[in-house]
Structure 1
Amino acid sequence: MGACWGPAVRVLVLQAAWALVGGQVRYSVPEEAKVGTVVGRVAQELGLEAGEAEARRLRLVAQGRRASVEVSGASGALVVSGRLDREELCGKSAPCALRLEVLLERPLRVFHVELEVTDINDNAPLFPAARKNLSIAELSLPGSRFPLEGASDADIGANAQLSYTLSPSEHFGIEEENSNSRSKSLFLVLTKPLDRETEPVHRLLLTASDGGRPSLSGTMELVISVLDANDNAPQFNQSVYNVHLPESALEGTLVARVNATDSDEGINREVIYEIVTIVPPSASDVFSLDAKSGEIRLTGGLDFENVPFFVLHVEATDKGTPPLSGHCEVVLEVLDENDNAPEVRVTSLSVPVPEDASVGTVVAVLSVWDRDSGSNGRVRCSVWPASPFGLVSSVSGSYSLVVREALDRERVSEYEVEVRAEDGGAPALVGSRRVRVPVEDVNDNAPAFAQAVYTVLARENNAAGAELARVQARDPDEAGNGRVRYSLWEGGVGAAGAVGGVISASSYVSVEAESGRVWALRPLDYEEVQVLEFEVRAVDAGEPSLCGNATVQVWVLDENDNAPSLLPAAGVGAGAGASGRSSSVWESVSGESSGSLWAWAAWGTPAGQVVAKIRAVDADSGYNAWLRYEVWEPRGKGPFRVGLYSGEVSTARALEEADGPRQRLVIVVRDHGEPARSATATLSVSLGEGGEAASASSGAGSSGPGLRASSGAEGGSSSLSSLSSLSSSTNAWLVAAICAVSGLLVVAVVLCGAWRWAPRAGALSGRGPATLVCASQVGSWSYSQRQSRSLCVAEGAGKSDLMVFSPNCPPPPAAAAKETQPEPPALLDTVSAAPSLASRPAPRRPRPLLSLVSVVSPGVGRRLWEAG
């Protein structure tokens, strides 16, 4: 009984609870719940026991639309049996409640169940289209709004509350506006001016997000096309066109091709080119521009040296309304070519240059430049041809022409210097400038005579005032420095006199100051002065003055102006046999042309015995003093003869009584001058017996100093022996002399021939061991030991007066010796002995010794003298 009342009680309780809630059960389930999800336990809500719901057949009765829930018979729970989609079931209605009826049989009862399907954010916002195309004018102002259609969300409530975002853009933004309580207006807002040329199309992404958790979103692409306007000027692809062209570029050469683009479209982008300005303005005819292509070409020549740079301002204009323009610059750099030679200019010139200018003296200052540039303008300078001048560079482009070596105006009086400038181009170009540099004279040269020693041949007895010689000194300086005046230097003059000592030359000669002529002040006398030596000084007119000296030797040539003079003679005894003897003595001397001599000889004296000796001298010299002796009377064959050159009177045959007691001989002494001069001597020879001759000799010996006689037989014998020895010695010397003279004659002939065909000179001056001089017409032996100074050469035949002397002249002063130039080698160095003449004392002067004699024709000597 209790068990029966239990269920009933529960039913009652269920009914009571149901009644309390209005008789309706409410459940809530989220949409999209999984199948099998328990929504509510209806059996328990109705108070049914487990298993009772199936027994009493508890089931769900749908009303109208199919429910996606059902009641499980076993458990009596309301479970999800299908997909619950709130949007499908209720759409936008809220809340979404499903009314369900639960039927319970046994007993039959109907219960109402309200199932609320709650919304979940299972639907994303959805735009009407995935892409939205918009067209906006380029010139639209910022702030302009363009309406957009918003997105929709099937959910409700917060899940349907949408917010919009726009992808980042500097030109656009998004705005929402509440137009009414049910919807909002959506606008696209322009925040920054558009530039079609920069970005002709803008692609933006509009996103709508709901308020669910998690939030869902939907997107729409906005494609915004910017409509073009002529708001862009043409733009060059380069603001500056840098162009390099060589200056040798020809006309028509393409300089540059400018290119301007316009970001606009259509007619707004068509461009026309034009040259607005050219720098420099003078180059307006050098370039041309094609208005359509933008090509700039040369219409003229380029010259780097005139205009190295050109700047062209080019304008490009479009055809829009209004037209817009752009600008650019074309900078043309002209490349230098080596088309200009260096230029040399003399900026300062200091001439003439003194010849004693020191090294480093600046002669000229020159400016050197090359209009080219770079290596083409780098210049190297040099002096051509080689000269005593050089270049010194002080600063760039400036050179000084300086003295490098010592100058000598006498060697080069003027220089033509060419300064050459060569650039570094390839090929190199050369410029030059000639500079005339005269050298100014300074008195640096003393007058110099052509000869250190002048040898002059002058005949004695010349007329006073005659010109003896002409000396000439050359001074290579100019003007006053080279004007020479001559004078006789008293410090170095003198003459070798016949009586010895030094005689002042100024008493004999004078020197003309201007011409250098040497004049004779008085006649010369060989017997008084044989060599007159003096010095001539040449002084220039420079400041200070310089001088030079030359020695003049005047050789006085002897003339035959003196006749032979007889000297007192000593007797020489001769006789026949041991007792024979002879002697001789002068009896008297009358004047200088004649005299008487007494001699004694014994009969029987053999031939060749010397009975007397005639002695004579001639004040002249050479041939003029070479004496020869002849028996004038008696003519024909006499018992006596005289030595041609010795003057010894000897027996021609043995003396006989038939010859008489006395023989008278007239002996003539002649010189070899022309005309010849002579003197006569009378010799009286007494003949007798030997005793008489001896007594006569003794008597003669006591009668005067001129008698020499032997006493006694011994004396006579000794005298004869001595005389014989002297005669033999003399003959030997004569033979040797003849051989030597013959050999030297051959040598002289050969030398004459050689000199005849050799280059001839009028006079060779200089000291030497032996030199040829001219003799007189007849020719004479010369006994001079002085050194010769001159050489005379004739053009005549081989027979000529050819004599070699070694004069012993006093040496010149030391100064003159230093100035003496080297002399040619002597013609003849060999000096041989000549035959000795009759020994005789010199009455007035020392007789010179003979060096070399060649007897030749007397007529040629005069021609040699006249030629000399």
Structure 2
Amino acid sequence: MPERLAEMLLDLWTPLIILWITLPPCIYMAPMNQSQVLMSGSPLELNSLGEEQRILNRSKRGWVWNQMFVLEEFSGPEPILVGRLHTDLDPGSKKIKYILSGDGAGTIFQINDVTGDIHAIKRLDREEKAEYTLTAQAVDWETSKPLEPPSEFIIKVQDINDNAPEFLNGPYHATVPEMSILGTSVTNVTATDADDPVYGNSAKLVYSILEGQPYFSIEPETAIIKTALPNMDREAKEEYLVVIQAKDMGGHSGGLSGTTTLTVTLTDVNDNPPKFAQSLYHFSVPEDVVLGTAIGRVKANDQDIGENAQSSYDIIDGDGTALFEITSDAQAQDGIIRLRKPLDFETKKSYTLKVEAANVHIDPRFSGRGPFKDTATVKIVVEDADEPPVFSSPTYLLEVHENAALNSVIGQVTARDPDITSSPIRFSIDRHTDLERQFNINADDGKITLATPLDRELSVWHNITIIATEIRNHSQISRVPVAIKVLDVNDNAPEFASEYEAFLCENGKPGQVIQTVSAMDKDDPKNGHYFLYSLLPEMVNNPNFTIKKNEDNSLSILAKHNGFNRQKQEVYLLPIIISDSGNPPLSSTSTLTIRVCGCSNDGVVQSCNVEAYVLPIGLSMGALIAILACIILLLVIVVLFVTLRRHKNEPLIIKDDEDVRENIIRYDDEGGGEEDTEAFDIATLQNPDGINGFLPHYRRGLLGGISQDAV
């Protein structure tokens, strides 16, 4: 405690001692009651001093006489004396009055109007206001008349070290890469001191580290913080707390100080390779697992963080490189092993893989430490699963002739249970693919038989699905498509491709082709169709017509002579036998109708059976227009005739005001059977306006083309 009190007294009196030493000798050697005297342009009168003092005072003419000084923060029991005003017009008779005006006059500074002493009555703070400008004047005590012009002077507040340094922006945070070399700059800090920087050392700061050594150092003058140890490892310690001190008075004893903290974080660099957590991994997987399924995960740990810890995974060796693959999970930073191809427990029960993890981002500064990668072994055991039956073929193609007998075997499918404990298989047909139930299958051996007759001409292909089911586990089923092709047999006789009708000119020439016909066959022989044409045996010596086979498998009918006369015979029927080339061959007889017609000289048919077959070629456009006009005129006449007949028969309609029932009651002819029914149409009574006055028998006669009037 005494040491602390002594230090406080030293801090308080040191500025006063410095000020006292630096004051001019004239002020220093003067008595206290006459130590600070200000006269506005008047000589300084010190009659009570000796000649030696006057000579000494005269030698200090360089002193600024219009300034006074007062220490800040001075607090005592009495007001502090700042200075004294005096004029040599004052004979000491107390007839002169001193007046003070300006900054703080009367409130901060008070003057003794008789002696001219100026006192500071309040505590002053230089940081609040460094100087005050005041005006002094001497006046007559009785008349208040100025004895001299006013004189302006300044009172300056002298600084003392009363403000400690402050870090306005603290606490601070900074980063520096790990493994940095010695002396790497981290950051710099700045403190401020409110004391006067030009007076003494109150604002002269010196920086030091109180906590954070030996890891960091600081420049005392610039406050630049640097690393003090090389190769600091983030993985060993990531964050450091540094306490920094700023001390004024140039760091000497008695100065004031302020502190702040700096948190230094080491940022990561890729200085560590990945490392698998274990050297051997074991996984098991069922043989029926779906392709792409994740089998397991392996992880290589990396002490680095962020992108420096990113690793890529690869399968570099092993007997399962074709069946498995590994992908990198960027989020979890591990490797996912997936299935690429199907597994078969019965074929191979285990696999061994060698996987590698390597850093993605390599820092060349640390590449010399060795490969930034690691390897591990993965063993995968395949587990047996109850697999569905496996057909001997993925698809089946069967053939059957369309004339195959019912219940005949078309073909056979086979399937097996691939499991070690093999289960018997039962076969069935998916009836959704055989709605007409044309086929059956033996449930035990898979033989497919015919259930209904087949007709290739109706359907060439039949596509069914066969189901194989394990007897021990009915949920294990497999399906296979079976395509059944119906083979052709010669079961359809050939016939004309269409209904032909030939026209023979009366003036035709012998050997002239009357008609060319072709045949068709619903069958589809392998080598294509080849038809044979012939006449009936009794028609071979036909005197009128003959036939000729063409190279395109068609037949031409020719006339044997000319001079056909439609008046004698207008139609001829020519039966033709058509045979195919099947085994055995089939044949049919088709009849060609030949009609005798009148033709022009150039062989164009003009008329057959009295009716015009075609219009004459030489008919002019005018003749055609005339014929069309006649037809239109005829239609107009028919319409007028019908209209006139409608008006003529109008009385036959029953009037609305007649009693229909009365007419019926008075009609008492004896029944005549069908004649009465035809004589009277009762529909007329039901709808008297619906027939426009025409009787049924009249209407029938008109439709027949002959009216009663015509008869």
Q: TM-score, normalised by structure 1?
A: 0.29
* Structure of greater Rg: 1
